[in-house]
């Protein structure tokens, strides 16, 4: 029997704001850069409404704005699903320990995994402090620019890192680094292995810094990273040593929880 596409009908109770946001994602994906006026015209809404919608897409990484104030598709557009059913269980087991970490240090904590040469933020426990870093869930970034990504890359062999960032596959995926940058990364990863944690000082986002440690499953494979993110204006808090100890305590507690549940992840690709 030949497959026949199902007829699509509008839902009985449409939510206009959701429809507008999804329409903007499709427009960015299929027609290219948009200005606020273009978005407002396409949606038939006020400029202020279009501006707020585009702002939310930027916040969730579905768009970014260039220096000419045009909006382009962001890194979240076109990203394939993780395809790892264990990520939900990972979040469930890690959440109470990230909540405790955030409460103890007064800063936002994150859980992320590595998919190839990139990291995906799975869980954020945001500090109630008004100056704290916001929600990062769903964001996809090159692993080399994040503390969590470096923490996970440091667990790989030099040959594996070279394949991820210097081989033919890296060239096809857009993740390739010049040899000079790979040499610097090798030095940074050696420092991570020595100290047991990775740092990010304004590398992934101007004004944001982080500390991270790798998380291992019951078979000692690195499957994730936990991180504390702070505004760079408050980075002195991380140099006291207390944040490192609290982060280590959180990491150990997550690993204990994974081991107790017999949790096994894939450890990236």
CATH number at residue 63: 1.10.10.10
Tell me if 11 is assigned to some domain: no
**Same-domain status, 162 and 31:** no
**Same-domain status, 110 and 243:** yes
Which tokens hold the place of 85?
Answer: 């059913």
Per-residue pLDDT, 109? 96
Render the burial of 220-248: b for 16+ CB within 10 Å, e for the rest.
eebbbbbbbbbbeeebeebeeeebbebbe
**Same-domain status, 237 and 159:** yes
**Same-domain status, 97 and 32:** no
Could you give the number of structural domains in the chain?
Answer: 2
Mean pLDDT of the chain: 86
| Alpha-helix runs per DSSP H in 106-239 | 147-153, 158-166, 168-173, 179-195
**Same-domain status, 220 and 97:** yes
**pLDDT beyond 60 at 7:** no
Containing structural domain, residue 26: 16-73
Nearest to 267 by CA among 234, 233, 221, 228: 221
**Within 10 Å of residue 41's Cβ, how many Cβ atoms?**
13
**Same-domain status, 90 and 178:** yes
**Same-domain status, 247 and 137:** yes
**Same-domain status, 100 and 22:** no
CATH of the domain at 169: 3.30.450.40
Per-residue pLDDT, 214? 97
Range 30-43 average pLDDT? 86
**Same-domain status, 111 and 209:** yes
93-102, 129-138, 248-257: the lowest-pLDDT one = 129-138
Using DSSP, state whether 133 is helix, strand or coil. Answer: coil
Tell me if 33 is assigned to some domain: yes
Quickly state the pLDDT bin for 84 (edges 50, 70, 90).
low
Category of 173 on φ-ψ map: left (φ > 0), alpha (ψ -120 to 50) or beta: alpha
**Same-domain status, 29 and 117:** no
Per-residue pLDDT, 66? 84
């Amino acid at each position: 029997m030949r497959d026949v596409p199902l007829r699509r009908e509008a839902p009985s109770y449409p939510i206009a704001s959701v429809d507008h946001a999804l329409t903007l994602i499709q427009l960015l994906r299929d027609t290219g850069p948009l200005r606020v006026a273009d978005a407002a015209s396409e949606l038939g809404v006020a400029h202020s409404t279009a501006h707020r919608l585009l702002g939310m897409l930027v916040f969730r990484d579905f768009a970014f704005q260039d220096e000419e104030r045009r909006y382009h598709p962001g890194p979240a557009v076109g990203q394939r699903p993780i395809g790892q059913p264990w990520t939900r269980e990972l979040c469930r087991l890690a959440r109470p320990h990230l909540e405790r970490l955030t409460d103890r240090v007064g800063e936002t904590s994150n859980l992320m995994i590595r998919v190839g040469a990139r990291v995906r933020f799975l869980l954020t426990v945001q500090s109630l402090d008004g100056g704290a870093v916001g929600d990062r869930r769903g964001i996809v970034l090159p692993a080399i620019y994040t503390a969590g990504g470096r923490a996970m890359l440091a667990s790989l062999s030099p040959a594996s890192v070279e394949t991820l960032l210097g081989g033919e596959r890296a060239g096809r995926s857009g993740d390739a680094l010049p040899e000079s940058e790979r040499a610097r990364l090798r030095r940074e990863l050696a420092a991570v292995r020595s100290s047991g944690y990775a740092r990010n000082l304004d590398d992934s986002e101007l004004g944001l810094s982080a500390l991270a440690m790798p998380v291992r499953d019951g078979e000692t494979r690195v499957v994730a990273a936990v991180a504390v993110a702070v505004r760079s204006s408050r980075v002195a808090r991380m140099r006291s040593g207390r944040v490192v100890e609290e982060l280590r305590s959180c990491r150990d507690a997550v690993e204990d929880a994974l081991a107790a549940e017999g949790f096994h992840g894939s450890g990236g690709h």
